[in-house]
Structure 1
Amino acid sequence: MLRRVRRVRRDGRHVRLTVDAHPAVQLPGIPGWLTGESLLDQGVETTMPNLPDLELPALTTKPWHVVVSFAGPRTVRIVVAPAGARVLDEEPTWLGIVTDPWPDPVEPSVADTDDAIVVTGGQVGVRVSRFPFALAVTDAEGRVVLRTAERLRQVAGFPMAPPVLGGGESTLLHCELGPDEEITGFGEQFGQLLKNGQELRLRVEDALGTGTGMAYKPAPVWQSSAGYTGFLNTGATVTADVGHTRPSVLALEATDEALDLYVSVDPDPAVRLGDYTALTGRGTRPPLWAFGYWMGRCRYHSREEMEQVARGMVEHGVPCDVLHLDPDWLVVDRLNTDFVWNTDRFGDRRELVKTLDGYGCRLSVWEVPYIDPVSPRYSEAEAQGYLVRDASGAVAHLRGTPTPDGRPRALVDFTNPAARRWWQQLHGDLLDDGVAVFKTDFGEGLPDDVALADGTPQRHAHNLYPLKYNAAVSEAIAERTGRAPLVWGRSGWAGSHRYPGQWGGDAESTVAGMRATVRGGLSYALSAPGFWSHDIGGFFGPELTPGLYVRWTQFGAFSPLMRAHGLRPREPWKFGERVLAISRDWIRLRYSLLPYLWQVATESAAQGWPVMRPVSLHYPGDPVAGGLDGQYLLGADLLVVPVFDDGDAPVTRRLYVPEGRWTDLLTGDAYAGPSWHTVTVPLECMPVLVRDSAVIPRVDLPTTFRRTDDLVGSPWQLHVYGAGDRELSLTGFDGTDTSVRISGGTAEATGRQPVRQEVVRHG
C-alpha cells in the first residue's frame, strides 16, 4: 500500500515522486486493510467496542514511483509503478496503443508544501498528498473531478479502498465515486450503458454472442459525468468494479506490475474524446462505397449462389455496394486463412470480381489470423519463424475451437516484422484482382503463455493481438491500393478505432440481441470512437421473424455502416413482399442520406468522434441523457429511435427528446424537449428526428440505380430545419470543400461547387 511521499524532483517534462509502500493485508471476513504502521497513523478507531484482535503485518518499506506529465493542456499522464518496473523506462508508445505521446505538450509547474505536492499543466492539476498518500485531479477552476478513495472507511476506521495496492500479480487503483457521478464506456459492452453497479472483466474474448457477459472489443477507457475521461495504457486484463462491491468506489485492477493512467479533463465529452484520439490515433474516412448497403451470409457455397444474390438485388430494385464471402473461398476451410483460392467453388477470382461488379457489388472476403496444420502454408510459416511461439519455444496453440483431427492451429506473430510483411503480401493478389475489403474475423484466441517476437510481456500480449492483427491488414490495403483502407473487424482493444471499421459480433436473432447490439455500439463509441456496425437480423438463434428483420433493417439504415449477415439468408426478398417493400424503402432512404453521412464521417475522422453517438455526447448536462441506451444520435443532427419488437403490428414506443425543437424526418411531426414522448409506430416507420437549425444534405435519387457510384454527381438537396439563414461548409463526394450560404430558398456557394444544390425548408 502506497503511504508516504519521500522525494520530489523535476525531470524535464516529468515530475517524479518517490513513495514509501508497506505490506498490507485485508481483514478476514470484513472490509478493511491494514499495514504494519501504528493504528493511530492508519486512522483506526481504537475505542470502538468489539474491535477484533489485529495481527499487523511486518513494517517493511519498498520504493514506488509516481510520475506526472502532461500530454496536452487538458490531459495528464500519471504512472504509478514499483522501482524497476519496465514502464518507467519505456516511451508511452511501447505497447502500440498510444501513437503520439505528446500531441500538445505542456511544461509542468510544481508547488511543494508540507502537506502535498501540486503539479499543474494547462487546465489540469494533480494534488499528491504526502501522508497518507492520495491523488486528486482538478480542472481549470480547481474543482476535483477524480480523487482516490482514501476517505472511504468502515465503522472502525479501517480503509476500505486504499488509493493504490500493488506489488504482486496486479495493481489496484481505488477512486471515489461522487454521489451523482455516472460512468460509461469500457469498450463494446452489451449491458446497460451506465456502468454504475456493474463489474466488468476487460479481456478480449470470443464472446459467443451478445448475452454471455463477455466482450469482443473491451477497452480500458471510460467516461465520467464528473468531467473526465480515463484511459489505462495497458494490454493487461483489467477488472473494472463500478460501485459493484463498494457503492462509492470505482476500482480498477490491472494484472500488471504498474498503472499507466491518462486523465483528460473537460466538461465536454466530445472534447475529451478528441484529446484521447489525439493520443491513440484516428481512423481515416472510409471510401464512399463503404456507406452503401452490404449483404452477406454464412455461407455462400459457390459462385453461382453469389451471382444469384447479386442478380436478385438488381431484379428487386435493392441497391447494394458490397457482397461478402465467408470462409468457403478457401480450399482449407478449417478456421484457417492461407489465401489459397478455391477455384472449384468460385472459379477465377478476377472474373468473379468483374461479374459481381457488373451487378453493382464489390467483393468482401473473410479471414482469420490462424493457420491450420493441414494448410500447405503451415510448414513454410513454421520454418520461417512466422508463427507465435510459447515460452518453451514451441509453436503456440490457438485457444478454443478444436480442429476435426485434434491437431492445434497456429497464430501469425504480427510483432515479427518478417511475419507481418509475409501476411500483408499474401493479401496482394486478392487486392490486385479487385477484392475491396477483408472481414478480419476472430483474433481473440492468443494463449497466455506466449513469447512474442518483439518481447511484448505475456500479460499484455493477449489483448494487444487483435490490435496488431487489424493494423497489419489495414496497412496492407492502404499500401496496395493507395486508398483509405477498410477492414470489418470483430475483436479489438483500446486503439482499434483507428483501423475502421468494426462490427458487433455474433448477435442473437432476437429482440434481446438487437437491444444488446445497440448498447454495445454506444458503449464502444465512448471508448473507441469511429465507424462501428452490426449484423442486420442478428447472426444466429431462432428463426428471424419478418417483423424483427424490418426493425433491424431500419436500425441498420441509420448506423455508421450497413450490413445484413447471418447463418441463414438475409436477402430482404426472403421474408415476403411486404418486408421487401419496407426494407427497400429504408435502404433507399439511407442512400438518399449519403451526403449527410459523408459530412458526419468527415467530421468524425477529423475530430476523433464516433458516427453513432450516445445522446450524452452532445447533451452532457442533460440529467436523462447519460442513461439513454435505446436511442442515439447519428452525427449531431439526427436522433434515431430503434423499435425493439419482432411482430408486424404497430407498437408503442417511448422516446426522449433533448432540449430544442425536433422534427420527424418522415412524418414531419414536431417534438419539443427536453421531455419524454410516446408514439405509435407501424412496421413501416421508425422515429428519426431532426434537430432544429440543422441542414441535412440529401442526394436526389434516380428511379433506378445500383450503388453509390451511380449517385456521384447527382444533385443534392439541402433540407433546412427551422427558420433563419445558414452558413456551412460541405464536403463533396470527391473531397472538395464548399462554403454555402443559405438565404430563404436559395443556396449560394463560394469556391468550387461539388454538386448542384437545392434548398428545401422544413418548419
Structure 2
Amino acid sequence: MKFTDGYWLMREGVQASYATEVADARVEEDRLTLYAPVRPVRSRGDTLNSPLLTVECWSPAEGVIGVRTTHHAGKEDHGPGFALRTGDGNGDVGISGGSGGGSGAGMSGGSGCAKTSRDGSVTELTSGSLTLRVDTDAPWRLDFTADGRTLTSAGARGTGFATTGPAGSGTPGHHTVAQLSLGVGELVYGLGERFTPFTRNGQSVEIWQSDGGTASEQAYKNVPFHLTNRGYGVFVNHPGKVSYEIGSEAVGRVQFSVEDQSLEYFVIHGPEPKDVLDRYTALTGRPALPPAWSFGLWLSTSFTTSYDEETVTRFVDGMAGRGIPLGVFHFDCFWMRAYQWCDFTWDPDVFPDPEGMLRRLRERGLRVSVWTNPYIAQKSPLFDEARREGYLLRRPGGDVWQWDLWQPGMALVDFTNPAARAWFQDKLRALLHQGVDCFKTDFGERVPTDVVWHDGSDPERMHNYYTHLYNTAVFEVLEEERGAGEAVLFARSATTGGQQLPVHWGGDCESTFEAMAESLRGGLSLGLSGFGFWSHDIGGFEGTPTPALFKRWAQFGLLSSHSRLHGSKSYRVPWDYDEEAVEVTRAFTRLKHRLMPYLLGAARQAAERGTPVLRAMLLEFPDDPACHTLDRQYMLGDDLLVAPVFSEDGSVDYYVPDGVWTHLLSGEQVRGPGWRRERYGFDSLPLLARPGSVIPFGRCDDSAEYDWADGVTLRVHAPADGTVTVTRVPAPDGRTAVFRTRRDGGLVTVEAEGATGSWQVLLTGVEAGGAEATEGAAACEDTDLGALVTAPAGTTAVSARVTG
C-alpha cells in the first residue's frame, strides 16, 4: 500500500517512522543486531519518548542474508509460517514470518554460513559472495554488495513502520515497511503467477489469494518473492498479505510492507537469475519430479457440459481413431451430483458403474484424474458428519462458517485439525482404490478471515497459506497410495512452498488470443517465482475458441511442461473445430512424445535446481538486454526457443539471440541477434534449436512412457569447433545414457555410455560428407533435416566428417 502523498507529504491519517542511524550494534561471529532510533540522537534526551527499531541480520544459507526489523516484540506469533531449509538444505526449520516476537525466531538454528568483520565504524556480514555493509557512524543505510558492486540498498525510508487510520478511530493499523533501491535499468519479475505486464515496474501488487481469473491484477498463486535483472532476488518471509509498490510510490525503489510489528526478508544473490532460483528453492523447497505419464496429453470433460460414460467413451474412441495419443482423462466437477460438492461420490444416475468404467479406461492405457475442492456443500451427506466431528472452519462464536458462493451453504475443511485432514484424505484414498490416479485440486483461494482455526492460527496469515495445507494433504495421500514419484496434482492456487507439489495450471482464462498471451505471461512469472511445472487450458476456458485459436493454443499447450484440453461450456475435442485441428493436435502431441528425453532432462533441472521447464528468455540470456522484457516467447528447457503465434493470420514477431539457430521442424538456419517477422501455417511455428545444442529425440511418438534411451536420435545443431556437449538421457529403470558430442575441425564425434539398443545422430546446420563408426558399423544418409548417422546396438562412438 502507499503511505506517502508525493515526495514530501504523508497520506492523510498516516504517520511514518524510519530508521535514521545506528545507536548501538551487537556484533557476533555470524550475525549482527542493530538498534536504530527513528530520529537523530544528539543528546540523552533524544532517547526518550521515541521508538527504537531492532534490526537483526544473519544468513540462513550461503549467498543469502536475512533482515528482520521489529518495532514492538511482544506480539504473539500464532502462525502459520513457511517451513524453510537452512544451512545445507537438508533440514526444515520453521522460520517465523514477521508476526513479532523480536527474540530472533527467524535466526533459529544458525547455519554457520556467515561471518562478521569490523573496520572502524564499518561492519560487514558476509555469506558466500554476498555482503551486507553498515557504517554505524553514517546515516542509516544497509548496502548489499557482491563481486565489488552494490546490488541494492535500504537507505532513508528503507527501514521503518507506519501507522494508519484517522485520529480517534481506535487502534491504528501498524505496518512494518522496507524499501530497497532500484538501479538504472533494473527490472523486477515474479511475485507469483501474475497476468499483468511481465515486468513488475510501476505496479502495485497485493500478495493475497483471489479467485479473479487471468484478466485482472488478482492472482491465484501469490508468492512474496521477486527477482531482478541485477543478479539478486528478495523473499519476504510472511505468509499473509504483503503489499508491494514496485517503482510505483518511490519510483526508484521496491517497497514492501506487512500489517504487523515486524518484517523479515532475505536478499538472495545469484549472480545469474538461475542461481537466484537455485538458492531460493533450496530455501523454500524444490519441486517433486512428476511421473512421466503426466507429460502426455490430458483430455477433460470440460466443466458444465453434459457427459456420461458414453460421452467419455466417444471422446476416447475419437482420439484413438484419429491417431491422437491420449495419456490422461479428466472428469471435471459434475462427476459428482449437483449441489453436493464435494462428497467424493460418483453421480449414480450418470456413472452407475464407476469401478468398471475406471477399469475400462485403464485397460486402454489411460490414467484418470478427477476434480476436487476443499469445500463441503450443505446438501452433501458429509456436511453433517464434518460439522459433528468439528472438521469445518468456524466463526468466533462457534458457528460453522458458511456462504452460498460456488456451492449453496458450503463450508471449508479445516486442515489445521489433524483429524479433519485425515478424514479428507480417507475420502480421496477411497477414490484411489477405485482406480483414480490423480486429482485436480481446484479453488483454495476464497478463505475468510473472520474465523477461528482449530490450531489457533492467525486468520490473516492463514488466508494465503490455506492452499498449501490443502494441496499438501492431497499430494501426501497420492504418495502414500501410488508411491514416490507417482504423485501429481493439477492445482490452481499456491503460495511459497507450493512449488514442491506440481503441477499447477493457469486458471480460468477467456478463449481469445489476448488471453492466450496473458496466460503465457502468468506462466513466465510463475516460473520466475520458483515453480518448475506449469500448464493452461488449451483453447481457453471461458467461451469457445475459433478454429484458428484452438490450433495455435494446441501448439503452445503441447510445447509446455504439461498439456490439457479443457473448457467451460464447450468441449475441447479437436474435431469439434475442424479437421486441421485434428492434424495439429496429433502432430504436436506426437512431437512432444518424441521430445520426452529432452523434456525429462529439463524436468530434472527443475527438481534439482528449481529452474522451470518453461523459462523466460531472461533465464537463459541474462547478458542480452533485449531478452529482459520478452513475454511472447520462451525457452522450453535449455535449448528450444518457442514463439507461439498470437494471430488469426499466422503472423508472429519474435527475437532471436546471437548465433545460428536451427528451426526444429524445417531445418532452416536462422541467424541472430535480431527480430524476425514471419507468417506460419498451422503445421508450424517458430521452434528453434540453440546454436551447438544436442536435442535428444525418442523413438516413440504414441506415448510419453517408453525406454527413452533405446533408439534415441541426437539432433546435433551446428556445433562450434572445439566444443564438447554432454547429453544425458534417462531410462525408466533409473539408468542414464550419457552422450558426449565434440567437434574437432571437420570431425564431429559422439561417444555413448550406457546406451541401450541402436541410436542415431542427426547433424543439422552443417554439410555432411562421409561417416565412419569407431566401433561396429554405421550408415550415413542424407535427409531433409541433415545427415543421419545410425549406430547399431553396442556401438560406443560414431564420427562424421562435415564441412560448413
User: Which of 68-77 and 677-686 deviates more?
Assistant: 677-686
2:357 aligned to which of 332, 352, 359: 352
Is the 8 Å Cα contact of residues 164 and 174 (structure 1) preserved in structure 2?
no
1:721 aligned to which of 708, 717, 727: 717
Which residue matches 1:294?
Answer: 298
Which residue matches 2:658?
Answer: 659
Query: Could you report, residue by residue, the CA deviation over 1:647-692 in whole angstroms, capped at 9, with x for unpaired residues?
Result: 3x4x332111112221111121212222212222222211100001
Which residue matches 1:586?
Answer: 588
Instruction: State the AA in 2 paired with 1:673.
Output: G
Between the aligned partners of 2:74 and 2:620, the Cα distance in structure 1 is 40
Between the aligned partners of 1:163 and 1:63, the Cα distance in structure 2 is 12
Which residue matches 1:80?
Answer: 69
Contiguous gaps of at least 5 residues in structure 1: 23-36, 42-56, 151-160
Residues 1:200 and 2:205 are matched in the alignment: yes
Deviation at 1:112, TM superposition (A): 4.8
Deviation at 1:222, TM superposition (A): 0.4
Residue aligned with 1:661, SS: strand
Deviation at 1:346, TM superposition (A): 1.5
Residues 1:532 and 2:534 are matched in the alignment: yes
Which residue matches 1:29?
Answer: none
1:8 aligned to which of 5, 25, 28: 25
Which residue matches 2:94?
Answer: none
Which residue matches 2:753?
Answer: 750
TM-score, normalization: structure 2?
0.83
Compared with structure 1, are the counterparts of its residues 504 and 642 closer, same or farther at alpha carbon in structure 2 (3 Å cutoff)? same
1:520 aligned to which of 519, 522, 526: 522
Which residue matches 2:100?
Answer: none
Which residue matches 1:635?
Answer: 637
Deviation at 1:496, TM superposition (A): 1.0
Query: Could you report, residue by residue, the CA deviation over 1:359-381 in whole angstroms, capped at 9, with x for unpaired residues?
Result: 33211100000111111111221
Is the 8 Å Cα contact of residues 715 and 757 (structure 1) preserved in structure 2?
yes
Contiguous gaps of at least 5 residues in structure 2: 1-16, 90-110, 164-172, 766-804
Which residue matches 2:769?
Answer: none
Deviation at 1:58, TM superposition (A): 12
Residue aligned with 1:9, SS: strand
Which residue matches 2:230?
Answer: 226
Between the aligned partners of 1:169 and 1:125, the Cα distance in structure 2 is 30
Residue aligned with 1:708, SS: coil
Which residue matches 2:451?
Answer: 450
Between the aligned partners of 2:453 and 2:663, the Cα distance in structure 1 is 54
Instruction: State the AA in 2 paired with 1:438.
Output: F
Residue aligned with 1:627, SS: coil
Instruction: State the AA in 1 paired with 2:83.
Output: V
Is the 8 Å Cα contact of residues 82 and 258 (structure 1) preserved in structure 2?
yes
TM-score, normalization: structure 1?
0.88
User: Which of 581-590 and 726-735 deviates more?
Assistant: 726-735
Residues 1:367 and 2:372 are matched in the alignment: yes
Residue aligned with 1:394, SS: coil
Residues 1:559 and 2:544 are matched in the alignment: no
Compared with structure 1, are the counterparts of its residues 129 and 417 closer, same or farther at alpha carbon in structure 2 (3 Å cutoff)? farther
Aligned residues: 705
Instruction: State the AA in 2 paired with 1:108.
Output: A
Is the 8 Å Cα contact of residues 29 and 116 (structure 2) preserved in structure 1?
no
Instruction: State the AA in 2 paired with 1:219.
Output: V
Which residue matches 1:474?
Answer: 475
2:125 aligned to which of 111, 119, 122: 119
Between the aligned partners of 2:116 and 2:709, the Cα distance in structure 1 is 58
Is the 8 Å Cα contact of residues 85 and 258 (structure 1) preserved in structure 2?
no
1:499 aligned to which of 498, 501, 505: 501
Between the aligned partners of 1:409 and 1:107, the Cα distance in structure 2 is 48
CA RMSD of aligned residues (A): 2.5
User: Which of 135-144 and 110-119 deviates more?
Assistant: 110-119
Between the aligned partners of 2:533 and 2:74, the Cα distance in structure 1 is 36
Which residue matches 2:166?
Answer: none
Between the aligned partners of 1:120 and 1:335, the Cα distance in structure 2 is 57
Is the 8 Å Cα contact of residues 365 and 437 (structure 1) preserved in structure 2?
yes
Query: Could you report, residue by residue, the CA deviation over 1:561-618 in whole angstroms, capped at 9, with x for unpaired residues?
Result: 0111001110111111122112211121111111111111112111111110001011
Compared with structure 1, are the counterparts of its residues 488 and 12 closer, same or farther at alpha carbon in structure 2 (3 Å cutoff)? farther
Deviation at 1:213, TM superposition (A): 1.9
Residues 1:148 and 2:151 are matched in the alignment: no
Between the aligned partners of 1:115 and 1:169, the Cα distance in structure 2 is 32
Which residue matches 2:322?
Answer: 316
Between the aligned partners of 1:220 and 1:550, the Cα distance in structure 2 is 35
Deviation at 1:149, TM superposition (A): 4.4
Is the 8 Å Cα contact of residues 300 and 326 (structure 1) preserved in structure 2?
no
Query: Could you report, residue by residue, the CA deviation over 1:99-122 in whole angstroms, capped at 9, with x for unpaired residues?
Result: 313336334333456755432232
Deviation at 1:82, TM superposition (A): 2.0
Between the aligned partners of 1:384 and 1:755, the Cα distance in structure 2 is 59
Query: Could you report, residue by residue, the CA deviation over 1:300-344 in whole angstroms, capped at 9, with x for unpaired residues?
Result: 53111111111111111110101110111223x337212122232
Instruction: State the AA in 2 paired with 1:97.
Output: F
Is the 8 Å Cα contact of residues 221 and 232 (structure 1) preserved in structure 2?
yes
Query: Could you report, residue by residue, the CA deviation over 1:504-551 in whole angstroms, capped at 9, with x for unpaired residues?
Result: 00010001110100000001100132111100000003x310000000
Which residue matches 2:690?
Answer: 691
Residues 1:279 and 2:286 are matched in the alignment: no
Between the aligned partners of 1:346 and 1:86, the Cα distance in structure 2 is 54
Superposition pairs for residues 596-611 of structure 1, below 5 Å? Answer: 596-611=598-613
Instruction: State the AA in 2 paired with 1:338.
Output: D
Which residue matches 1:163?
Answer: 159
Is the 8 Å Cα contact of residues 224 and 496 (structure 2) preserved in structure 1?
yes
Between the aligned partners of 1:395 and 1:184, the Cα distance in structure 2 is 40
Is the 8 Å Cα contact of residues 732 and 754 (structure 1) preserved in structure 2?
no
Instruction: State the AA in 1 paired with 2:130.
Output: V
Deviation at 1:188, TM superposition (A): 0.5
Is the 8 Å Cα contact of residues 520 and 631 (structure 2) preserved in structure 1?
yes
